[in-house]
Amino acid sequence: MREVSGLDRATFDGEVRPEGRPLVIRGLAADWPAVVAAREGDASLIAYLKRFVTGRPATAVVGQPEIGGRFFYNDDLTALNFERGKSPLGPFLDRLLRDAAHPQPLAMAVQSEPIADLLPGFEVANRIDLVATSIVPRAWIGNRIRVGAHSDLMENIGIVVAGRRRFTVFAPDQVANLYPGPFELTPAGTPVSMADLADPDFERYPRFADALANAEVAELEPGDAIYIPYHWWHAVDSLKAVNLFVNYWWNDAGRQAASPYDAMMHALLAIKTLPQSQREVWRMLFDHYVFGANGDPAAHLPPHAQGMLGELDLKKKHELRSTLADIFSR
């Protein structure tokens, strides 16, 4: 994966993001107090985190030693191979430190917790300038766990605070080679690749070899950061007994935009089962009206007559949502 050392906000917004490719930013958070504590050792990191711990419980996931740290499915895909629950953060951190020398510990993780709620004050003492201050930093704390390739409908900057992390990243066009799992049951909300990065079954998933040939890989040490563009697939291996990761998610589409994921669910219902000839018609219409393959589809209409084909201001978005709500209520 490409790397840089040091990056300012102007270069990030003006050059890195428009290029739309992943990037490692070495030493971005090297001077964070949490990173300094982590470099002194696991006990020092845990002591630092406990300065911010409140009584708020954290959502934690726990898997038995037999899963080898891989949060995934059971053998017949009827359930997940881990349990999710609540835990006070202090005892969780104590257990994490106590198990650090254990050869086969429980797989443990606190995932995607807003830091201002979980560790209030940490986000003030440890911050970056590459993203807007309104973007909520999130904490990921755990031991040696493996998360299969998945994608987020967000842009992402993540920082290794403690431990070491390996990222294996795939472009969105590799979706067919990644063999995504079910939509209805997922480890973390979006489909995950069924292929095991550590032990790929090429007989069952032959195209995964093509995905690996096009993958980008990087290992991050404390203070290093990674930028993952919108919808790039990424598998994450936490390589130490104690790991802390902080990430920032954002989507410039804003909260007013409807979810493309929901639109795809509706398309599966409305289009997937049509005859092939009809599906091809709808592929053409989507290209024309949604993706602008032939230019502005409403350019020939006066602005007052463009309706939903024109610029979608808040009023038009509300009208369109009302129309959709009426359709779904029938």
Q: What is the pLDDT of residues 99-153, one digit of tens each?
A: 999 999 999 999 999 999 999 999 999 999 999 999 999 999 999 999 999 999 9
- Band of residue 257 on the pLDDT scale cut at 50, 70, 90: low
Q: Is 86's pLDDT higher than 90?
A: yes
Q: Is 68's pLDDT higher than 80?
A: yes
pLDDT digits 0-9 by tens, 194-228: 999 999 999 999 999 999 999 999 999 999 999 99
Percent of the chain as helix, strand, coil, to the nearest 5: 35, 25, 40
User: What whole-number distance in Å separates Cα of residue 324 and Cα of residue 330?
Assistant: 10
Domains and CATH numbers, the chain: 3-250 (2.60.120.650), 260-329 (no CATH)
Closest CA to 109 of 62, 150, 65: 62
Average pLDDT over residues 83-98: 95
**Residue owning tokens 């997937």:** 272
pLDDT digits 0-9 by tens, 288-298: 999 999 999 99
Cβ atoms 242, 97 nearer than 8 A: yes
Q: Is 324's pLDDT higher than 90?
A: no
3-class SS of residue 134: coil
Alpha carbon of 308 to those of 97, 160, 253: distances in Å?
56, 44, 17
Query: Two tokens at 48?
Result: 């630092």
Look over the chain and give the mean of its residue pLDDT values, rounded to a whole number: 94
